Amino acid sequence: MDRAPAEYLRLDVGMYDLQAPVFFSYVLFAMALGAAAGAALRRTVPAMAVTLGIFIAVRVAFAELARPHLLPTITRVVVSGTGNNSVVPRVPATLMRPSSIRS
């Protein structure tokens, strides 16, 4: 069975929704949506129903339309003396050794 590289697994439905920035963004969005619906409708239960419906619709739309176009970040480490030094800042080679890592 073929498996996707580890960096792509972050964008799976379960993992993506549990990452801290995404989770808190959903919470803030739902709170703002609920406040707006409550202010507009001036009734608690209908505002809760509208908030839930719009929140689920936005989540499904984002998962179906936007998430397939997201790509994982690219991490590049350049050791001093390699690569294009005019674009990437120089990193001393001593910083790349495990012995120089402080706990």
Distance CA 17, CA 26 (A): 9
What is the pLDDT at residue 22? Answer: 84
Tokens 């509208």, residue located:
50
pLDDT at 99 over 50: yes
pLDDT of 46 reads 97
Max Cα–Cα distance, the chain, nearest Å:
66
* Residue range 47-77, pLDDT digits in tens: 999 999 999 999 999 888 887 777 666 666 6
pLDDT band at 1 (very low <50, low <70, confident <90, very high): very low
The one-letter amino acid at 19: Q
Total-model pTM: 0.58
